[in-house]
């Protein structure tokens, strides 16, 4: 399977490079998969929903200020969605038009969405620290919260799930419930 490099930036100066399996790409979205290594597990209602080596299928939309990871536990059971609030993706293609790499800049705030549609904002403390330390300026702080409110409205209206289903259909994935073999 083809791989692609994700350049992950987190202000003020953290930069990581991750190799991900490229599942699908068009002008509107990049879909990749990887095993994740979160800084800390996420537990919802007493159940670990995100931890080391869980699988994620990432939907990175052109022009949007967030991405969506569909997360699966070690038994390949879907546990929910992890959404990063971020600057719009940057992409680079090679001379043949093939996706060479893509870059995201994380803006600290995240949203966890449970399969039942309930959700929880993540990492508010890290975001507030970044604001207090001048890593996030007032304009970007306002934009980040605006994006979070818009994302929550999309979740509540069912639009986020619809957007993902459209990509799954367009990409021709045969079984959107299971992650691809890693």
Whether 178 maps to a domain, the answer reads no
Whether 83 maps to a domain, the answer reads yes
Whether 86 maps to a domain, the answer reads yes
pLDDT at 96: 84
What's the domain range around 123? 3-171
Question: 30 exposed, middle or buried (CB, 10 Å; 0-12, 13-18, 19+)?
Answer: buried
Residues of the chain with pLDDT under 50: 177, 182
Whether 181 maps to a domain, the answer reads no
What percent of the chain lies above the pLDDT cut of 90? 82
**117: region left, alpha or beta (phi > 0 left; psi from -120 to 50 alpha):** left
**CA max distance for the chain:** 49
Provide the CATH number for the domain around residue 158: 2.40.380.10
Distance between CA 123 and CA 143 in Å, rounded? 16
Element (H, E) at 111: strand 99-113
pLDDT at 179: 54
pLDDT at 182: 45
pLDDT at 175: 56
pLDDT at 87: 97
pLDDT at 173: 83
Task: Tally the domains of the chain.
Answer: 1
Whether 43 maps to a domain, the answer reads yes
Whether 39 maps to a domain, the answer reads yes
Whether 34 maps to a domain, the answer reads yes
């Amino acid at each position: 399977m083809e791989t692609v490099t994700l350049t992950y930036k987190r202000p003020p100066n953290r930069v990581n490079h991750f190799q991900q399996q490229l599942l699908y790409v068009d002008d509107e979205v990049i879909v990749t998969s990887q095993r994740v290594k979160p800084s800390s597990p996420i537990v919802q209602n007493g159940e670990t929903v995100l931890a080391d080596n869980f699988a994620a299928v990432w939907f990175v939309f052109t022009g949007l200020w967030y991405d969506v990871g569909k997360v699966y536990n070690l038994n390949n059971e879907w546990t929910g969605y992890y959404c990063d609030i971020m600057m719009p993706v940057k992409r680079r293609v090679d001379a043949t038009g093939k996706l060479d790499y893509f870059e995201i800049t994380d803006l600290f705030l995240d949203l966890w969405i449970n399969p039942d549609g309930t959700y929880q904002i993540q990492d508010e403390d890290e975001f507030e620290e970044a604001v207090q330390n001048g890593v996030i300026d007032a304009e970007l702080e306002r934009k980040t919260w605006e994006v979070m409110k818009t994302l929550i409205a999309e979740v509540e209206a069912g639009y986020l799930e619809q957007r993902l289903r459209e990509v799954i259909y367009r990409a021709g994935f045969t079984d959107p419930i299971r992650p691809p073999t890693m």
